[in-house]
Each structure stands twice: as C-alpha cells, then as structure tokens.
Structure 1
Amino acid sequence: MPARTMAPRSCAPAQRGETAPEIAPVAALLTRRTFLGASACAVATLLTGCGSSEAGVQARQIAEVPCPYNWDNLIWDGGRPVYYENDQICSRWGVDVSEHQHTVDWEAVAGAGAQFAFVRIGNRGATEGKLDVDEFFLANAIGAQAAGIPVSAYFFSQSLDEAEAREEAAFAIEQLREAEHEGVTFHMVAYDHEPVEIEGARANDLPPDQFAANARAFCEHIQKAGFSPMIYGNQQDLMRLSVEERATYPLWLAEYGIDDPTVTFNFAIWQYTNKGTVPGIDTDADLNIWLETP
C-alpha cells in the first residue's frame, strides 16, 4: 500500500493574539522539509556522481536541513505558543496522551482548541522487553476521531537492535489496523525511544549508530505498511540520528522550560511541556505545537 499523503495548504490568515482557527489535518505539512532534504540529496549526487562504488557511497554527504523558523514570530497567547509568518497563523496546537492520562473526555479536549492528538499505541517493557498495548489506545483513537480531532499515534520503544525495532513496528501496525477497522484515520506514526529511570533498563546505553539504525528500521517498516513515520526525542536523542535520517524523517522535538526551541536543525512538532493543563484531561498533559511554513 502506498504511503498516505495529503495536499499541502497555505497558512490560515489571522491577526496576532487571535486563537488559531480549526483547520484540516495535514500530513504533508512537511513539504518544505521534504523539498530541502531532496535538494540536499540531489546536490550530493551531482557532486559524487551516480556510481555505486563503496568509495562513492562513503563520499556522498547529505547536508543538514537547517531550522527554517524565525522565533521572533512565535507568540505566546494565553500560555500557548502560536507561530506566525506574514501575519498568518502557521501552527496548530495539540496534545499527546497515553494510559497515564486515564480516561480522556475528547469532546472537552476539542472544545479547548486541540487541533491534533497523538495517542500511544503501546510500548516495549524497559527490563523484560515484553510488548504491550496501551490500555487506552483504542478508546483514545476512537474518541479523538469522533470529537473531530485529527489523530496520530506513537510507540514507546526499548528496542536493542533492528530486529526488535521491526518487531515493534509490526506490533504497532496490528493495533493501528484494528483502530482503522473502527473508522480511525492516522496521519503520522512516531517512533519514541528514550532512556528510562528504572533499574535494569535494557536499552538506556545504545550507541548512537544502533539508536539510529533502530529508528530507521521502525520507520521503514511503518512506511511499507502505508503509514507516514516520524521520530520523537529531545535534542540529545535526535542528534544521535545521522544527518540523512534527520533529513528523511519528520522530527518531533521535546524541549521544556524555554520560550522557543534551541535546536539548529529542522523539525515539525515541538512538545513544549509535559506539565500542561487541558479541560478533559485530569492529569498533567503533554502539549505540542505543530509548525507549518507557507
């Protein structure tokens, strides 16, 4: 099945200080990233030629895709970030949840202005490595969709190698298919591999090349199944990826306690707090801004 794509759109006009309007979900908001990454690849190919020799492959370099945003255009409105370009709102605001948020009132979340939601599919255990479905995955996916909130999903990985990452992807796809049978459409599927503060955690000290290989294996398997992959992490996590991987896959950055992100490379979503308050969610919530460029 070919990967899902959606037509790009221009940013919604608005005046500064207004709440971002409800807008349609767009998986292809990463058009600028894709273009820049493809351009870098094309330039590299022109410089090194099209041969497949080992020396040619090693010489081929992918340019880092720089962060395209001007943070002077990021306005905090009622405690939420809104990004503007040319006085047009170029961002969406959303949440991500798991079973740790328990039962979510998705109608209330929609009423609070959520324009997208990521729901956790499941996880691999940090010590024994067992795969588990998130207790509230199906309810959250169905509930968010029914409330009119565009739905994406993520899987919490503790993979040690590419084989385990592909196993996690296959497990995630099974759950996604079940939700699709219930009428849910998923726009992105994110890979989330991060250290955990548990004694005996099995995957805390992966070398950068293994971390990157696992992320790539998961994303490739997800993409072959017809879903659009992305990679989640903080700045340290994402810097463990190769430049090519940062150019190939949309990135979801976690960085808290700051007025605007500090990374120099491109990314699509900024998770700006894990201590947010949202009507309809009784616990602290992760809050995000999905950045768009015209």
Structure 2
Amino acid sequence: MEVKGIDVSKHQGEIDWQKVKDSGVEFAILRAGYGREISQVDPCFEKNYAACKAVGLPVGAYWYSYATDPYGALKEAHTCLKAIQGKRFEYPVWFDQEYEPGIKALTSQQRTDLVRVFCAELEEHGYYTGLYCSRDWLEHWVLPDQLKALDIWVAAYGSTPGAVPLPYGIWQHSSTGQVPGVQGPVDLDIAYKDYPAIIQRAGLNGF
C-alpha cells in the first residue's frame, strides 16, 4: 500500500486543509513543537490539528529535538506529552533528530541513546512512536542495530529512497512539493503501513 501525505509546521503558514484533502492528500504529520519548553509548541499546531480533524484528515505529529543528553531527551518527551495531551493521532508521534551542532558533537551511541529515551517515554504513556531522520543520519550518525524496535520515517529526496539501513514505514521523498491549499513548498510523504488501523487496534495515541 502507498498512502500520500504531507508534513507541516508554522513555516507553511495558513493552510486550507479542505483543499489539501480534496487534492488527494490522505494524511498529515504536524510539528507539535521543538526543544524542552512548553513555550516551544508550534504556534500553528492547535489550529492545524483542529482543521485536519474538521475535514477528516488523519494526523500524526513530530517533535524536533535539540537534546544532547538523556535528561534533555526526557524533558523534551514530557513537553511533547503536554502538547499532545487529549488529542488523537492516527499516525505515529515522531522524534525528529537532525544536524544540530550540539547533537553532531555527540557519539553515535549517545545520539542513539537519546532516540531511545524519548521514544521509550512516549511508549510508556501509550503512544505509537518512532524516529524521523535522513537516510544519511541512519547510515552515519546513529546505530541502526539498536533502533530495530522503532518505526522509521526516513527522508531521502529523489525518485527512490536508496538503500536505507532499516525498514521504514514512511518515506519523505521531497521538500519542495506543491499542494493545493498550501502556499509555497511542502514536504511530501508516502506511508507504506496502515497506521490508522494498527494504532486504533492497539488502542494507542488517544484511542
């Protein structure tokens, strides 16, 4: 199966979600926020969530990380949990680890540990979670063997994802997509699993 989706943050501004859905987009992953303070919730998160629910578009969420130690990753997990409390997500809640200077300065083992700390805390609270990162990140910056239990949402732009070190459930294949209802470029995704069925059957993510 291949399900078409987009992921968005405040950078996309005002979105006409009915137009997005009518264009054939079947799910959206929303940035819930970043960092460790509740003031860092994405300013468009609530609005985007409510609008997606209003038009019947399944949603997931992601949390952009700056954590450089396990305590920081735990703090981010708690802030993320506060931000998503009381909401229902048909798609996973993702930990987004990227090329921040403080994170790049760590060892692959340390970076891997941060992913596991954040995701374990979300799982503890009944969420279906996973790691969002680039193919390069999986290849060179974390230890894939230690992340086999997690779902992966991989970014690899082009006509194919190439050789990804781990099985992945979602492929982000472009950062320059054009979708009716969204002004300017937007990330395009393809999901290969029936996440809504998996998550609702397991009673996770608020279900």
Which residue, 13, 17, 21 being the options, matches 1:102? Answer: 13
Residue from 143, 146, 153 that aligns with 2:54: 146
Task: Check if 1:120 corresponds to 2:26.
Answer: no
- Deviation, 1:243, is 3.6
Q: Taking structure 2 as the reference length, what is the TM-score of the superposition?
A: 0.86
Corresponding residue number in structure 2 for 1:136: 44
Q: Partners in 2 of 1:213 and 1:236 — Cα distance?
A: 18
1:263 and 1:167 map into 2 onto residues whose CA distance is 33
Task: After TM superposition, give the deviation of residue 241 of structure 1 in Å.
Answer: 3.2
Correspondence for 1:270: 171
Post-superposition Cα deviations, 1:109-160, rounded to whole Å, max 9, x if no partner, equal 10011111100011128xxx89611010111111112111111000000101
| Contact 1:93/1:113 (8 A) holds in 2 | yes
Aligned-pair CA distance for 1:202:
3.2
Counterpart in the other structure of 1:250: 151
Residue identity matched to 1:255: A
Q: Do the aligned residues in 2 keep the contact of 1:251 with 1:266 (CA within 8 Å)? A: yes
Greater helix fraction, Structure 1 or Structure 2: 2
SS of residue paired to 1:219? helix
Q: Is the 8 A contact 1:123 1:131 kept in 2?
A: no
Q: How many residues align?
A: 192
Structure 2 residue aligned with 1:211:
111
Partner of 1:41: none
Which entry has the higher C-alpha Rg, 1 or 2?
Answer: 1
Aligned counterparts, 1:192-203, within 5 A:
192-196=96-100, 201-203=101-103
- What corresponds to 1:191 in structure 2? 95
| Cα displacement (A) at 1:204 | 3.1
Shift of 1:232: 0.6
Map Cα deviations across residues 49-88 of structure 1 (whole Å, 9 max, x no partner).
Answer: xxxxxxxxxxxxxxxxxxxxxxxxxxxxxxxxxxxxxxxx
Change (3 A) 1:152 1:130: closer
Q: Does 1:282 align with 2:183?
A: yes
Aligned partner of 1:254: which letter? A
Q: Is the 8 A contact 2:9 2:44 kept in 1?
A: yes
Provide the residue aligned with 2:203 in structure 1. none
Q: CA deviation at 1:203?
A: 2.8
Q: Distance in 2 between matches of 1:243 and 1:120?
A: 24
Mapped partners of 2:181, 2:117: distance in 1: 36
**Corresponding residue SS for 1:233:** strand
Match of 1:85 in 2: none
Aligned-pair distance for 1:245?
A: 3.4
**RMSD (CA atoms):** 1.9
Q: What's the counterpart of residue 200 of structure 2?
A: none
Q: What letter matches 2:16 in structure 1?
A: D
Unaligned residue ranges in structure 2 (runs of 5+)? 195-207
Q: Tell me which amino acid in the other structure corresponds to 1:261.
A: P
What letter matches 1:250 in structure 2? D
Native 8 Å contact 1:131 1:168 kept in 2: no
- Cα offset for 1:247? 1.5
Equivalent residue of 1:218, what SS? helix
Return 5+ residue gaps in structure 1 as ranges: 1-89
Please give the alpha-carbon distance, in whole angstroms, between the structure 2 residues aligned to 1:155 and 1:131: 13
State the partner residue of 1:76.
Answer: none
CA positional deviation for 1:244: 3.7
The alignment partner of 1:187 has SS state of coil
Deviates more, 1:229-238 or 1:209-218: 229-238
Identity across the alignment (%): 28
